Structure 1
Amino acid sequence: MIYKVYYQESKQEVPVRECTMTLYVEADSERDVRLKLKDKPYNIEFVQLLDDSHLDYEKQSENFQVES
């Protein structure tokens, strides 16, 4: 399953929509995503499971790259 993660680059940053970054992670669950990213300094705002149609849309972006 592919998850879209919305985050700030630093845990000290207050979430601001204009500064929110995204990345895509292949994982079995939301918990697994958070475990994979726990060593990064990210302030994770939201983790979203992508359904097939949403995933197809995201793949059209030139920035689409899945981390495993």
Structure 2
Amino acid sequence: MIFKVYFQESIRQVPVRENTKSVFVEGESERDVRKKLANYDYNVEFVQAVKGAFLEYEQQNEDFKVLEI
């Protein structure tokens, strides 16, 4: 399953909507995705499963890529 992860680039950074970035990660569950990102210095705000029409919409974006961890 593919998950969309919203995060700040630094664990020390306070979440601000304008600075929030996102990345797509493949994993078994939200917990699995958070484990995979534990080695990164990300302040993870939200992890959302992406499937169906939502996934198709995201795949149309030219910047769509799934992070290989």
Report the 3-state secondary structure (helix = DSSP H, G, I; strand = E; otherwise coil) of the residue aligned with 1:48: strand
Distance of 2:61 and 2:15 partners within structure 1: 23
1:63 partnered with 2:66: no
Distance of 2:54 and 2:20 partners within structure 1: 19
Q: CA RMSD in A?
A: 0.7
Structure 2 residue aligned with 1:38: 38
Report the 3-state secondary structure (helix = DSSP H, G, I; strand = E; otherwise coil) of the residue aligned with 1:47: strand
**Aligned 1:1-68 pairs, distance under 5 A:** 1-68=1-68
Distance of 2:55 and 2:18 partners within structure 1: 22
Report the 3-state secondary structure (helix = DSSP H, G, I; strand = E; otherwise coil) of the residue aligned with 1:28: coil
Name stretches of at least 5 consecutive residues in structure 2 with no aligned partner: none
Structure 1 position 26, deviation (Å): 0.5
Structure 1 position 62, deviation (Å): 1.4
Name stretches of at least 5 consecutive residues in structure 1 with no aligned partner: none
Distance of 1:28 and 1:52 partners within structure 2: 17
TM-score (norm 2): 0.95
Report sequence identity in percent. Answer: 54
Structure 1 position 67, deviation (Å): 1.6
